[in-house]
Amino acid sequence: MSEERFDTHRESVLGRADVEDTPELVKYYQDLTQFEAGALWTVANKIEPWEPKSDSVPVVWRYRDLRDYVLRSVDLVSPEKAGRRVIYLNNPGRQEVSAAVGWLYSGLQVMKPGEAASAHAHSSSALRFIMEGRGAYTIVDGHKMTLGANDFVLTPNGCWHEHGVEADGLPCIWQDGLDIPLVNALEAGFYAVHPDLSQAITHPVNDAVGIWGGRGLKPTLHDWQKPYSPLLKYEWEPTYEALSAYAKVTDGSPFDGVIMDYINPLTGGPVMSTIGASMQMLRPGEHTKAHRHTGSIMYQCAKGEGYSIINGKRFDWRERDIFCVPSWMFHEHVNGSSSDDACLFSFHDLPVMRALNLYREEALAENGGHQVLL
Amino acid sequence: MSEERFDTHRESVLGRADVEDTPELVKYYQDLTQFEAGALWTVANKIEPWEPKSDSVPVVWRYRDLRDYVLRSVDLVSPEKAGRRVIYLNNPGRQEVSAAVGWLYSGLQVMKPGEAASAHAHSSSALRFIMEGRGAYTIVDGHKMTLGANDFVLTPNGCWHEHGVEADGLPCIWQDGLDIPLVNALEAGFYAVHPDLSQAITHPVNDAVGIWGGRGLKPTLHDWQKPYSPLLKYEWEPTYEALSAYAKVTDGSPFDGVIMDYINPLTGGPVMSTIGASMQMLRPGEHTKAHRHTGSIMYQCAKGEGYSIINGKRFDWRERDIFCVPSWMFHEHVNGSSSDDACLFSFHDLPVMRALNLYREEALAENGGHQVLL
Amino acid sequence: MSEERFDTHRESVLGRADVEDTPELVKYYQDLTQFEAGALWTVANKIEPWEPKSDSVPVVWRYRDLRDYVLRSVDLVSPEKAGRRVIYLNNPGRQEVSAAVGWLYSGLQVMKPGEAASAHAHSSSALRFIMEGRGAYTIVDGHKMTLGANDFVLTPNGCWHEHGVEADGLPCIWQDGLDIPLVNALEAGFYAVHPDLSQAITHPVNDAVGIWGGRGLKPTLHDWQKPYSPLLKYEWEPTYEALSAYAKVTDGSPFDGVIMDYINPLTGGPVMSTIGASMQMLRPGEHTKAHRHTGSIMYQCAKGEGYSIINGKRFDWRERDIFCVPSWMFHEHVNGSSSDDACLFSFHDLPVMRALNLYREEALAENGGHQVLL
Amino acid sequence: MSEERFDTHRESVLGRADVEDTPELVKYYQDLTQFEAGALWTVANKIEPWEPKSDSVPVVWRYRDLRDYVLRSVDLVSPEKAGRRVIYLNNPGRQEVSAAVGWLYSGLQVMKPGEAASAHAHSSSALRFIMEGRGAYTIVDGHKMTLGANDFVLTPNGCWHEHGVEADGLPCIWQDGLDIPLVNALEAGFYAVHPDLSQAITHPVNDAVGIWGGRGLKPTLHDWQKPYSPLLKYEWEPTYEALSAYAKVTDGSPFDGVIMDYINPLTGGPVMSTIGASMQMLRPGEHTKAHRHTGSIMYQCAKGEGYSIINGKRFDWRERDIFCVPSWMFHEHVNGSSSDDACLFSFHDLPVMRALNLYREEALAENGGHQVLL
């Protein structure tokens, strides 16, 4: 064991560990291992970094690349055998945990008309953002919701849920977003298949929107104590209307343009405990400034085209393209059109950052707030 | 003082005070007064009643009775002299505190085109519900809001506010609702006239609705810590749409039909700390069951016609009529039409009841839940 | 009716009502009364005062004056007839509602050894502060608590409760504090006599203190959702210790010296929704500065002697004396001893002021912050 | 690449993925990798387990094994070079992240009389539990706290902190507990060395205890909005007293005996956002029942001796020994003495589980609730 080195993380900075290996120390370190122990100063600088350095890398997943593969899965595997036909997004830095970025999972799911997946429940919180097709629906704890393009729907932690496409619909593709990697890492994941493989629809179709979708209104009768939004479905039309109305009375965020968070209308808080979601509008020609923050974000272009600069590298996107911004990387967004707005849907783990008091944000100070392309 | 009686509240019930006056006791009682004191058992049954018995009486204020008087005030007094031209609703049981019911004040205010009231602020929380006219507006802390019929607007405790009617408008009448009697009773009322008598408009017109009026969305940028709803204005059209959508997926409340509360969209709570407000739809032919609760309610018929039975007495109402239900009186509502819905706007002090843990509710058990007319 | 005047509240200030009676106006006003209505400008200045002017007056109730009367009630009335033998404190400005100050009731209750009052429950929240005797106890919802001098105990809104003195004890006197006048004014008061006239003791004696009295600790097992403190009893000894420890590390409040609030240990909030309580220590020779705030306060001197200046008038107090400070009156406190500390127990309606966003406070700016004696 | 297998996670259960590799599918999978994507059904069963299976293993760290090594570090490395002289506990299943269990770090730190570590701040939340010595102190944001055996002290996320031992003290050893692995995993860790390498003491020594340590009392003056307990130090004596008092009035938890959580006295919540802590007393002869829950726990025996059974294996412990229970492993505790109580200090990530709605608990149903030793 003479070659084993314990001093590979030294830093010659006051207040940091800077201990050189000696034969006596190495012997001491080796002795400690028999007691499932070690000397902190051999790892302190490694486990207490000066600032976050994400394992994830920025990636753009182009829909024109993936769409055919997604559709091919319909012929390659049956839903019975595959469970769900999903092409998942596999960040090169996070393959071990099958994450798209940080601790977030994402995939593109496809279903044919007349298909229905089996019902299940899990500790992971899930969302879907509809990309194309007609006739998609989701059932959550007996509430059936019909879904169109750019609609956003929740299937929270612990709810029975299943997806399907009506027989008279068209093949549907949507983006799934989940916290599977986080829940696994926290060693808190349970999974259950519904005993009947499908649920009864026990409420009027789209009742969540009828009950909880009033603007500044809530039903006097209904109470809601669960830790996620009762609204469940956020349709594209009122979302785009809200952004447009808001755009008229705001200067917007320097970093994100006209941006709104999907909320639990009873708390003003995020839609689920572990995943938040937002929709932002970049006005014609808008080029935002760069900032960085803790927490990971998955974006999907819902409308228009443009590009983002992430840690100095440009990533072009157009409608349906997906890209990610890892934790603590500078990012800025550009609408590529001087006449039309562009809209980015995003989901992220900022609710986790905030619940654990780990959110931190920083604007880029140099160069007028814009990154220099590498 | 030989005639003075101290035993007028006796009850011969175990656990209640039941002490007969004797000369020795009367002397004792009289002696105590010199020390600003008394014997509890002489007043205990009076100050600890078995259940609430409101000082207010149910009243209906018919718009056809009051409208002319309201309009006449335009000629009778100038806004400069009167401050505001308001006919206030004066419950026969609450004249001493100028309340419409319980601790709630209400009045009908009128303004001519081109008029603007002076800006002021007070500890009382206020709301307006627009009844007729065109071109009304309110400015709250620099936010100007345009107002149409059945719109509901807040001027919360402590905000600078002023009202007016555009020069090209029509005479406007609205109902004011305030907690003036409560704030006075709590000896907590402050009043200030704006140093410039009017405010600058410092935000885009109707910006509160653009910022906070998204369905299930809030601006990422904006924070709000104040103890009232940032939405400020609740327009009639989306309110009626929300009620209609909700009506399709609910059986409604047995006591109130299809009823929704106006809320602070960031908390799900009432619009202000001391006053809540609701809008309810009685479906064609609907006759609700009777219940009673602590807290006082002011109603205005926003649409349709019908009647309510309050403590066994029938009160007919049609569009623009106002009526009140005092605390702990049974009440049930009837839509007089078998083809059209009827809508009741209401405001109330239930947020006070709930904040102080004094809310209590009881359904009428007898007669299938319906009151017998007296 | 020719003498009836409607213009008695005029103020010639811009933004205030200033309308002189004319025969036409008087006729108009009189006509309005038939519709249970009036003209706001005739009462506006009365119901919207510039600042609070309390109906209550400052009073000191001296124990040496009242103690004999309290003890005499033991012979004058039986507990069965009187319910409770209490001399209540009757503010000259609030006799109509039997309040000691504002909307707070207070009285001195006495019980003989071996006596037990019948159990009851009411919507009013109550507290007791023990003044003298031995063997007193209170039972709240089956929890029995033993009580000594200067102990403070809660009997919250809705709880079954009863008081007694052990057979081997001494006659006990304590101060009761309740929100009876407030609950009555809010028309929300219910009263019930326990069906068995007394409760079973269903928990270990003083269990509330054992369960919830840990310093910075709570039982993992126990949950508590009720809107009042589970601790129920706050003993004098740890309270005085806490004040003494705090005194060593604080400069104290300029207005109140070393002051701590009794809290719900699970929320940091007040002990009950409508009544808060505090204990303050005035250090030897301490003379605080004057401030005023909305909300009413009842004080009892728990230790030492001194005086308070309230709205320019001096009120001397010594151990067991009780005094009140009405809303928005300047007050400052003086410890009369240069060697010993003095302690003031107080209870108040500040939780109501805060819950309704009506709390407001102001330091006296003139004269170094001290009032000039009138 | 012909040997690459993608079907190693198949399960032949309805609703689970069960797709066998075919040449066509393998080609399809390989093609997907060029787009940073994969087929979900190849990993679904792996990333969606039926229930948590912790990577950590149960370990007991015996103080008699480690104490000498800890003390030797005093001679082996200087604090200047080492930063801190700590032997960290290195779970065999978590060596990659230097965790003692799950995402919790722990170590034993030693300091000589007269030594003081340099001040720093980090995003990780930290606690210390004092094991032996005399004269230890911690300074947190200018608040100095003196520390004795079994005292528990916080150094929350973001606070400047430093430790030392007075010159006239004895060598001190304490257990550190931090969420370093969690904060690293969440890519949210920042670290800063204090610009002066040490802080000024800006408050009276132990002022946090004087201010916030009252039983059921808080200073009226002080406000506290930070997301951690202001009490900072929890001394052993009042903790043991509280457990003893509580033991008299409770049956205790079937799984944990007489157990109390250290709390933020202003919220009743955990001491920090990411780490909770508890102290439990096992009564003489007590043998608790087994349960399991999500979340990881580190225990230290603070008093007495006994053993715990974790997933069917017995782990003996006595005073100062440390052991861990990984997520979702059954555990039960036994006091080895029939005459004396035993006390276990513990810290854990249950606040994370609860904040993210991932807490789940299950009692062992079989065998009278007791595990069978493997």
- Tell me: the pLDDT tens digits for D290-307? 999 999 999 999 999 999
A310 lies in the same domain as A359: yes
Q: Does some domain include residue A224?
A: no
Of B215, B259, B265, the CB nearest to A238: B215
3-class DSSP assignment, residue C77: coil
From the candidates C212, C217, C235, C293, which should be mutated to test the interface with D, based on the most D CB atoms within 10 A?
A: C217
How many Å apart are CA D160 and CA A296, to the nearest integer?
27
How many Å apart are CA D190 and CA A74, to the nearest integer?
46
User: Is the distance from CB of A337 to CB of A282 less than 8 angstroms?
Assistant: no
User: Is the distance from CB of B325 to CB of B318 less than 8 angstroms?
Assistant: no
Give me the residues paired with residue C122 across strands.
Answer: C191
From the candidates D45, D186, D228, D348, which should be mutated to test the interface with A, based on the most A CB atoms within 10 A?
A: D186
B277 lies in the same domain as B184: no
How many Å apart are CA B289 and CA B299, to the nearest integer?
17
Q: Which of C195, D325, C5, A231 is nearest to B13 (CA)?
A: C195
Give me the residues paired with residue A101 across strands.
Answer: A104
pLDDT score at B3: 74
- DSSP code of residue C371: P
> What residue spans of chain A are helical by DSSP H?
23-33, 44-47, 63-76, 79-82, 180-185, 207-212, 236-247, 350-355
Residue A151 has pLDDT above 80, yes or no: yes
Q: Does some domain include residue D183?
A: yes
How much of chain B exceeds pLDDT 90, in percent?
Answer: 96
C194 lies in the same domain as C132: yes
**Other CB atoms closer than 10 Å to residue C66's CB: what's the count?**
21
Of B43, B83, B184, the CB nearest to C16: B83
pLDDT tens string A165-191: 999 999 999 999 999 999 999 999 999
D190 lies in the same domain as D276: no
> What residue spans of C51-185 are helical by DSSP H?
63-76, 79-82, 180-185
Q: Does some domain include residue D84?
A: yes
Residue B2 has pLDDT above 60, yes or no: no
| Run of H or E residues at B39 | strand B37-39
B196 lies in the same domain as B283: no
How many Å apart are CA C343 and CA C340, to the nearest integer?
10
Residues ≥6 apart with Cβ < 8 Å to A22: none
How close A52 gets to chain B, by Cα (Å)?
24
- DSSP code of residue C180: H
A–D: how many Cβ contacts below 8 A? 290
How close D29 gets to chain A, by Cα (Å)?
10
CA angle, D278 as apex, D273 and D283 as ends, to 5°? 165
Instruction: Decide if A296 touches B, using CB distance below 8 A.
Output: no
pLDDT score at B1: 44
How many Å apart are CA B333 and CA B256, to the nearest integer?
7
pLDDT score at D2: 53
- DSSP code of residue C109: E
Q: Does some domain include residue D126?
A: yes
Angle, helices B63-76 vs C23-33, to 10°: value is 160
Look up residue C228 and give its amino acid: Y
- ipTM confidence score: 0.97
B71 lies in the same domain as B208: yes
pLDDT score at C2: 53
| Run of H or E residues at C29 | helix C23-33
pLDDT tens string B242-259: 999 999 999 999 999 999
pLDDT score at B223: 86
Q: Residue A2: pLDDT band by 50, 70, 90 thresholds?
A: low
End-to-end CA distance of chain B: 43
Q: What is the total count of domains within chain B?
A: 3
Q: Does some domain include residue D374?
A: no
How many Å apart are CA A116 and CA A118, to the nearest integer?
7
Q: Which of B352, B318, B346, B351 is nearest to B331 (CA)?
A: B346
Q: Kindly state the average pLDDT of the residues A229-251.
A: 98
pLDDT score at B222: 85
| Number of separate helices (H) and strands (E) present in chain A | 8, 22
The position carrying tokens 């009156």 is C329
Give chain A positions within 8 Å (CB) of B249.
203-204, 206-207, 210-211
CA atoms within 13 A on the CB side of B200: 2
Instruction: Decide if B227 touches C, using CB distance below 8 A.
Output: yes
pLDDT beneath 50, residues of chain C = 1
Instruction: Decide if D266 touches C, using CB distance below 8 A.
Output: yes
Q: Do B47 and C357 touch (CB under 8 A)?
A: no
How many Å apart are CA B159 and CA B123, to the nearest integer?
9
Of B92, B184, B356, the CB nearest to C352: B356
Q: Which of B230, B318, B232 is nearest to B266 (CA)?
A: B230
Look up residue B156 and give its amino acid: P
Exposed, middle or buried: residue B364 (CB in 10 Å: 0-12, 13-18, 19+)? middle
**Other CB atoms closer than 10 Å to residue C368's CB: what's the count?**
8
> Could you list the residue range(s) of the whole structural domain that residue C45 is in?
1-50
The position carrying tokens 């290195």 is D90
Q: Does some domain include residue B81?
A: yes
How close D149 gets to chain C, by Cα (Å)?
18
**Other CB atoms closer than 10 Å to residue B365's CB: what's the count?**
8
B113 lies in the same domain as B204: yes
D13 lies in the same domain as D101: no
A5 lies in the same domain as A79: no
From the candidates A45, A186, A360, which should be mutated to test the interface with D, based on the most D CB atoms within 10 A?
A: A186
D158 lies in the same domain as D293: no
pLDDT tens string B160-195: 999 999 999 999 999 999 999 999 999 999 999 999
How many Å apart are CA C129 and CA C279, to the nearest integer?
11
Q: Does some domain include residue D55?
A: no
User: Is the distance from CB of D259 to CB of D278 less than 8 angstroms?
Assistant: yes
pLDDT score at C222: 85
pLDDT score at D1: 44
Residue A21 has pLDDT above 60, yes or no: yes
D192 lies in the same domain as D75: yes
Q: Do A259 and B221 touch (CB under 8 A)?
A: yes
Residue A3 has pLDDT above 90, yes or no: no
pLDDT tens string D139-182: 999 999 999 999 999 999 999 999 999 999 999 999 999 999 99
C37 lies in the same domain as C131: no
Angle, helices C63-76 vs B23-33, to 10°: value is 160
pLDDT score at A1: 44
The total number of residues shown for chain A amounts to 374
Instruction: Decide if C225 touches B, using CB distance below 8 A.
Output: no
Q: Does some domain include residue D225?
A: no
Q: Kindly state the average pLDDT of the residues A63-85.
A: 95
User: Is the distance from CB of B373 to CB of B314 less than 8 angstroms?
Assistant: yes
Q: Do A48 and D122 touch (CB under 8 A)?
A: yes
CATH of the domain at C75: 2.60.120.10
User: Is the distance from CB of D96 to CB of D178 less than 8 angstroms?
Assistant: no
3 state SS for chain D: CCCCCCCCCCCCCCCCCCCCCCHHHHHHHHHHHCCCEEEHHHCHHHHCCCCCCCCCCCCEECHHHHHHHHHHHHHHCCHHHHCCCEEEECCCCCHHHCCCECCEEEEEEEECCCCECCCEEECCCEEEEEEEEEEEEEEECCEEEEECCCCEEEECCCCCEEEEEEEEEEEEEEEEEECHHHHHHCCCCCEEECCCCCCCCCCCCCHHHHHHCCCCEEECCCCCCCCCCCCCEECHHHHHHHHHHHHCCCCCECCCEEEEEEECCCCCCECCCCCEEEEEEECCCCECCCEEECCCEEEEEEECEEEEEECCEEEEEECCCEEEECCCCCEEEEECCCCCCEEEEEEECHHHHHHCCCCCEEECCCHHHCCCCC
Q: Which of B183, B212, B241 is the last residue of a domain?
A: B212
